[in-house]
Amino acid sequence: MLENAVNEFAKLPGIGRKSALRLVLWLLRQSDETVEMFGNAQITLKKEVKYCHVCHNISDTDICQICGNPSRDTATVCVVENIRDVMAVENTQQFKGLYHVLGGIISPMDGIGPADLQIESLVERVKNAEIQEIILALSATMEGDTTNFYIYRKLAPYNVKITTIARGVSIGDELEYTDEVTLGRSILHRTDFSDSFKQN
């Protein structure tokens, strides 16, 4: 039973077998009530947390708090890779628009193509809503740039401004690890996306 528990914990990202064993042994020292609360919290999380029907952010309702907030700028949508990036941008307190969570980036090496991401739903949002600007806020990596360009081409037929965050975020950096001041400035000083590849 100990081995099974260690194996399950070792499946968590960033947790090796030694860390998994340490966590299991810690749980064994806790009261039955504490362990039960821990287990129930994970089950409740899986059963009750949903994905927003609009932006694909996590939510406990069909529409997340950000999409449902009437004070947000519905004409501006920031496209991010994952939910952690939503949190990172929100922490800057510089962005007042809405989000669109792709659920990853295009990465052929990892077997992730456009069809595996929430790109078509972004196109539908642009088609059906009065969105004036799409901000591409993906990590400054080759995969992030590839995804940016793919989205740019998909949205080209529509009358929407496409910008990208300023490169205060270093090339190769992941968005979630960027400090709030730098990320906030990158959002504020975003540039037209087409300029980013005209210079290359």
pLDDT per residue as tens, the chain (200 positions) = 888 888 998 998 889 999 999 999 999 999 999 999 998 998 888 888 889 999 999 998 899 999 999 999 999 999 999 999 999 999 988 899 999 999 999 999 889 999 999 999 999 999 988 899 999 999 878 899 899 999 999 999 999 999 988 765 554 556 666 667 567 767 776 767 776 655 55
Helix residue ranges per DSSP H, the chain: 2-9, 17-28, 32-48, 83-92, 120-128, 142-155, 180-188, 193-198
Architecture (CATH level 2) of domain 66-198:
3-Layer(aba) Sandwich (3.40)
Domain borders along the chain are: 2-48, 66-198
- Which CATH homologous superfamily contains domain 2-48? RecR Domain 1 (1.10.8.420)
